[in-house]
Structure formats: C-alpha cells, structure tokens
Amino acid sequence: MSLLSVQGVRKAFGANVVLDDLSLEVEPGECVVLIGASGSGKSTLLRCVNLLEVVDDGVIELEGQDITDPRVDADATRARMGIVFQAYNLFPHLSVLDNITLAPVRVHRLPRVEAKSRAMAMLERVGLQDRAAARPDELSGGQQQRVAIARALVNEPTLMLLDEVTSALDPELVGEVLDLLTALRSDGMTMIVSTHEMGFARQVADAVCFLDGGRIVERGTAAEVLGNPRQQRTRTFLSRITTGLPGTVQDR
Ligand SMILES: Nc1ncnc2c1ncn2[C@@H]1O[C@H](COP(=O)(O)OP(=O)(O)OP(=O)(O)O)[C@@H](O)[C@H]1O
Ligand SMILES: [Mg+2]
C-alpha cells in the first residue's frame, strides 16, 4: 500500500484550474521531488495534501485513510505530517526550544518535560543542540530553516512536505539544509519536496515529478526525467532553467 495516494485531484481558484485530475503515489521511505515552472501547482499540491486547501474533486489517502473526507479530523491528520515552507515562520520572541515545543504543548497537550526532551532530540538531529536558548534572529537563515525542520519533525510525522525550503537562503547556506534533507532521507523518512534545485533532485530523489498544466506530465528517476526527458514540455522547462530564462507558466 502507498503511504500517500493522490487520486484524480482537481483544485481551481476561480477560473484558474491549478490541479487538473492529478494523481501521485508515494511509497513508504520514498523521496519524491516535484519540479515545474512557477505557478505549475507544486505548493498547491503540498497544501492540498496537508489539508490547508480543500480539493474540488478527487481523493487523497494517507496510509489508506481518505483524508479528504469532510468527516476527518483535519488537525489530527495534519499532526501526522510535517510541513516546512520557504519562509521559516519561527516566532521571533521565542527561543529556538520554545518554538519547537509550542505546538506539542499547546496543541497536542504533551507534558512540557516530554516536549522539551523530544525537542532537544530533534535539535540534535539537525545539529543545533547548542542553540536551544537562542532567539531565531541570532541564527543564520540556514540554521533557522533547520529549526523549522526540527519543529516539523517533533511529532514524528509519517510524511514530510517540504516546499522550496532553500529558496530564501543565501547560496552558501543552501548546502547545510540539503545535507540535512539527505540525512533524513537516509533515515527512511518519506518526503515530498518541491524544489528548483536540480542538483538536490539528482542527489536525493527516488522519483522526480514534472508538473505542468495541473498534471504530472512525467515521472521517473532523476536520471530519466532530468537527464533524458521523454516529454517535450519537460525538455522545454529544463532548457529554460539551464539557459536562465524565466520559467513561468505565463511566459510560455
Ligand atoms: N490562495 C490562492 N488564491 C488564488 N490563486 C491561488 C492561490 N494559491 C495559488 N494560486 C494560484 O495557483 C497557481 C499555482 O500556484 P502554486 O503556488 O501552487 O505554484 P508553484 O508551482 O508552487 O509556483 P512557485 O514555483 O512559484 O512556488 C498560480 O497561478 C497561483 O496564482
Ligand atoms: Mg510554490
């Protein structure tokens, strides 16, 4: 059984159909990388999976359970996933440790001692155990993003959703975050990652999915999709990236 099964999902904003009968299977331990032009729906797909958007049609199953069923407890479902965005969204007035323990204590009613020990374990996981007392603005962008990843890991999610987590970082800080994601993948974490970092896709992806026109146009290994794409639309997208031309949907 797939860990995540997205079946025929449609999502429109007004007349703009962003996801059009889109299907995606993710196996346990798999790292699936989403690529595609700006506006192709990568973030919308991740937000639909995380129930931050309501799908218009189709079904999303997590571990065999239909999570798009309106009777499902959305908060409990979201707690089974960790999501990290481009902007780290840390609370500036809270310490690193308190940023991580906030949701476990307030939302999930975990005893503070237990939350703290879990948070420290996660900080160790991301290599920041010595910065627990720091405020976010005392950390580099890469360190802040690693804290955001630690925060997403603290509930021991079955699925991690990572949306352009290196896009806001200075180039010299991208590597430390990509290294962390590579380590998570080696640990067997199931992940869906949207990225413009083709090098990262090559390094960690079990599968690369190219999104265009609201669908996954092509799925394969990184070597297949990035190295030897079957579809003309994939080739056009990749050539735009390598030539540095803007890759927006509107430009086509
Ligand atoms: N809340 C919203 N309301 C209206 N339109 C939206 C909303 N969210 C996304 N869209 C539209 O959906 C389309 C897909 O956006 P999305 O953010 O999913 O693309 P993306 O592939 O993540 O792009 P990028 O690479 O720039 O992050 C865009 O046309 C966008 O304007
Ligand atoms: Mg996006």
Structure tokens at 94: 């809270």
Determine the distance separating the centroid of ligand 2 and the alpha carbon of 124, expressed in angstroms. Answer: 29
CA 44 to centroid of ligand 1, rounded, Å:
6
Q: Is the Cβ atom of 43 under 6 angstroms away from ligand 1? A: yes
What is the rounded end-to-end Cα distance, in angstroms, of the chain?
A: 38
Q: What is the DSSP letter of 216?
A: E
Query: What's residue 223's pLDDT?
Result: 95
Per-residue pLDDT of the chain (252 residues; tens, 9 = 90+): 899 999 999 999 999 999 999 999 999 999 999 999 999 999 999 999 999 999 999 999 999 999 999 999 999 999 999 999 999 899 999 999 999 999 999 888 899 999 999 999 999 999 999 999 999 999 999 999 999 999 999 989 999 999 999 998 988 889 999 999 999 999 999 999 999 889 889 988 999 999 999 999 999 999 999 999 999 999 999 998 876 554 444 332
Atom of ligand 1 nearest to the CA of 47: 18
Residue 252 confidence (pLDDT): 29
Helix axes 96-106, 112-125, angle to 10 degrees: 130
- The values of phi and psi at residue 244, to 5°, are 80, 10
Does residue 36 have its Cβ closer than 6 Å to ligand 1? yes
- Closest ligand relative to 41 C-alpha: 1
pLDDT at res. 247: 42
Q: Residue 141's closest CA among 193, 105, 106, 89?
A: 89
SS3 content of the chain, % helix, strand, coil (to 5): 40, 25, 35
The per-residue pLDDT for 22 is 98
Q: Is the CB of 195 under 6 A from ligand 1?
A: no
- Report yes or no: 174 and 166 within 8 Å, Cβ to Cβ: yes
Q: Given this model, what pLDDT does residue 43 score? A: 97
Task: Using the atom order of ligand 1, give the atom closest to the CA of residue 194.
Answer: 22
Helix (H, G, I), strand (E, B) or coil at 64: coil
Residue nearest to atom 12 of ligand 1 (CA): 18
pTM of the model as a whole: 0.93
CA separation for the pair 43, 46 (Å, rounded): 5
Q: Where are the domains of the chain?
A: 1-71+159-252, 90-156
Residue 160 pairs in a beta bridge with 82, 191
Q: How many CB atoms lie within 10 A of CB 196?
A: 16
Ligand 1 atom having least distance to the Cα of 46: 18
Instruction: Determine whether the shortest distance from the Cβ of 42 to ligand 1 is under 6 A.
Output: yes
Gap between the Cα atoms of 199 and 186, Å rounded: 17
Residue whose CA is at the smallest distance from ligand 1 atom 9: 44
CATH topology assigned to domain 1-71+159-252: Rossmann fold (3.40.50)
* Residues 77 and 48: beta-carbon distance below 8 Å: no
